[in-house]
Amino acid sequence: MKHLNKLYVALAFTLVFGACGDVFELDEFLTDPNNVSEEAAGVDFLYNQVQISFANVYANSHFITEGLVRLDAMQSFNYNNALGPTAGNGIWNNFYANLMPDINAMNALAEERGLDIHAGTAKIMQAFAMTTMVDLFGDIPYSQAVQGAAEEQILNPTLDSGDSVYAAANALLDEAIAQLSGTTAAAPAFDNFYGGAPASWITLANTLKLRMANNTRLVNGANAVASLATDDIIDDPSEDFVYQFSTNRANPDSRHPFYVAQYEANDGGYQSNYFMHLLCCEKEVEDPRIRYYFYRQVNDIFAEDPNAFSCLGVEDWNEESVASAVPPHYTDVDPLMPFCFARADGYYGRDHANGSGIPPDGPIRAVYGLYPGGGKWDGSTFTTVQNAGVDGGRGAGIYPIVTASSVAFMRAEAALEGSGEDARALLEEAVRQSIDKVLSFESVSPGDFSETVVDQVTGEEVTRGDQFGPSSADVEEYVGVVLDLFDNSSDQLDVIMKEFLISLPGNGLEAYNAYRRTGKPNNMQPVQDIQTIDPFPTSILLPSDHVNLNINAVQKTLGDKVFWDNGSAATR
């Protein structure tokens, strides 16, 4: 049958391309990959595969881009080393060998059975993934890639222009909206995102159209953003498009990758000193989200073994030595630019593009916190988290794919660029929604907040949440500071985009797109070693798997721009 041919094609592509970089272990779904039965080809089985493949594409996009935009520390001395030709293999294989065949096979079954919710929602996921590939690579194979039955396959597809793929994605969204409107079809047995509710998926589709309009505003103008800002878009956190993880540790491990990376026995990566600085130290008030984003394992880094630290140019491990070693090109960008750490009371990570060796600092460095990875909230307990996965939210985090706050930030950005909406009101809405979303994660690990401690001032017993958590007054003060900055700034777009970046842990792609559109924040931390500075990558190299296996493939450069980037933004 036609849908079985598509399943065989999916397996063939998997064997050709491999599945490097998957975030999830998929073996439990494959009983015998060489003998696909009718029963195993069930539409709900395939729909689950679509969701997993889509989540992998999203995850790959984040982990490729997070270091570029300083959401995490980029641990290579320059961009050329960080983004070699193998960097894109994982997402490329997940898209072409997993997601696209999964959707084609699933839709063949869904159309036969009139399952419009299955098919319509899969088209929305496909459209998002298509634009993701364009946002990363520019032109990609599409019209000749994994489009039909086995006899129709072209194993050496040529590239389609990025703008034509965007147009095809927009058309898919329109098809999905029509297919989902008024449908009475059965919902999928399991929908990780919206529980099979067609109206929620339609809201997402409308939002993705707005998102695409904002991505392309440099070439198409900002007016389209306002025209798409209808009542039926994601404008409340209850409508957020997120992928939910669980606390399950094995068979399969379905916890958030942030948690797996740092709450078992491994050190994981480094937090970005610049990103932590934005929350702890740049404003006159501390960001109310900081203890949710980061967990500190120590409270005084200068009390730790000097041999456990690696800061270029620092001879002695003390505050004076660190201050004297700050590179001049740091202070040229911002006199308050962090160096070596964000703050000495445990906000210790790495500077941008510090590719030096790894010292024994795993139990000292700041780690992922409660949001979005389901880690531990920082209640000033200062204990190690390498405890075989028993701390905090135990990995029940989310991928914040499209949130109400991110949509409000996009609209605020477009408002300053001529869309006609109220930029200040949208900025306030976005900041409040982000804070509300983050603080709601108390429910993921309530034990972190409820432990009783003695108030150091009153001597009374209080909970850690009351002692160290942000109050409503703290939130109001922070929002007030942001709005004052906006009102008094000569560069209001910089204020908006900095707050947008602060709201985006777990979503590197959105931050990467925003940075290429605007070149802001203006004070992004530069590459640490001035001798190794190279141009900021405006796209990703075509993957080595594609270039080596496709006779029509020609490698590009990191300086090639995607179709919606007119080169107006200054990046570093």
Nearest 5°: the CA angle 363, 368, 371 is 150
Q: What is the mean pLDDT of residues 212-222?
A: 96
Environment class of 460 (CB within 10 Å of its CB; exposed 0-12, middle 13-18, buried 19+) = exposed
Distance CA 270, CA 502 (A): 17
Nearest 5°: the CA angle 244, 246, 250 is 135
pLDDT at 9: 37
Condensed to tens digits (0 to 9), the pLDDT of residues 368-411 reads 999 999 999 999 999 999 999 999 999 999 999 999 999 999 99
pLDDT at 34: 36
Q: Backbone phi, then psi, for 7, in 5-degree steps? A: -65, -40
pLDDT at 512: 98
pLDDT at 243: 98
Distance CA 355, CA 75 (A): 5
Q: What is the mean pLDDT of residues 323-344?
A: 96
Residue 119: closest CA among 178, 207, 32: 178
Nearest 5°: the CA angle 325, 328, 333 is 125
**Look-up: residue for tokens 């590939």?**
133
Contact (CB, 8 A) for 240 and 334: no
Nearest 5°: the CA angle 519, 520, 522 is 105
Condensed to tens digits (0 to 9), the pLDDT of residues 309-324 reads 878 788 889 999 999 9
Q: What is the mean pLDDT of residues 409-422?
A: 95
Query: What is the token pair recorded at 328?
Result: 């001049």
Q: Backbone phi, then psi, for 244, in 5-degree steps? A: -95, 130
pLDDT at 562 over 80: yes
Condensed to tens digits (0 to 9), the pLDDT of residues 74-128 reads 999 999 999 999 999 999 999 999 999 999 999 999 989 999 999 999 999 999 9
Condensed to tens digits (0 to 9), the pLDDT of residues 484-520 reads 999 999 999 999 999 999 999 999 999 999 999 999 9
pLDDT at 530: 85
Distance CA 467, CA 453 (A): 8
Distance CA 237, CA 403 (A): 6
Model confidence at 560, pLDDT cuts 50, 70, 90, reads very high
Q: What is the mean pLDDT of residues 442-456?
A: 94
- Give the count of beta carbons closer than 10 Å to the beta carbon of residue 497: 24
Q: What does R_g of the chain's alpha carbons equal in angstroms?
A: 24
Note the residue count of the chain: 572
Condensed to tens digits (0 to 9), the pLDDT of residues 232-290 reads 999 999 999 999 999 999 999 999 999 999 999 999 999 999 999 999 999 999 999 99
Distance CA 87, CA 66 (A): 13
pLDDT at 13 over 80: no
Residue 150: closest CA among 34, 35, 5: 5
Q: What is the mean pLDDT of residues 144-170?
A: 84
Model confidence at 153, pLDDT cuts 50, 70, 90, reads confident
Distance CA 407, CA 434 (A): 11
Query: What is the token pair recorded at 347?
Result: 């906000």
Residue 276: closest CA among 342, 198, 220, 185: 342
Selected residue with higher pLDDT from 396 and 151? 396
Residue 116: closest CA among 51, 175, 171: 175
pLDDT at 205 over 80: yes
Condensed to tens digits (0 to 9), the pLDDT of residues 45-59 reads 999 999 999 999 999
DSSP string, 47-91: HHHHHHHHHHHHHHHHHHHTTTTTSB---SSSHHHHT-TTTTHHH
pLDDT at 33 over 50: no
Distance CA 404, CA 385 (A): 31
Q: Of 138-147, 162-171, 281-290, 360-369, which range is least confident?
A: 138-147
- Give the count of beta carbons closer than 10 Å to the beta carbon of residue 427: 27
- Give the count of beta carbons closer than 10 Å to the beta carbon of residue 507: 24
Q: What is the mean pLDDT of residues 201-223?
A: 97
pLDDT at 21: 39
Model confidence at 148, pLDDT cuts 50, 70, 90, reads low
pLDDT at 461 over 50: yes
The CATH class of 2-29+43-233+539-549 is: mainly alpha
Residue 343: closest CA among 400, 287, 267, 401: 287
Model confidence at 154, pLDDT cuts 50, 70, 90, reads confident
Contact (CB, 8 A) for 384 and 189: no
DSSP three-state, residue 401: strand
pLDDT at 456: 79
Amino acid making up residue 457: V
The DSSP symbol for 97 reads I
SS3 content of the chain, % helix, strand, coil (to 5): 50, 5, 45
Q: What percent of the chain is predicted at pLDDT more than 90?
A: 85
Beta strands in 378-524 (DSSP E): 398-402, 452-454, 461-463
Q: Where are the domains of the chain?
A: 2-29+43-233+539-549, 257-503
pLDDT at 311: 82
pLDDT at 29: 35
> Mean pLDDT over all residues of the chain?
91
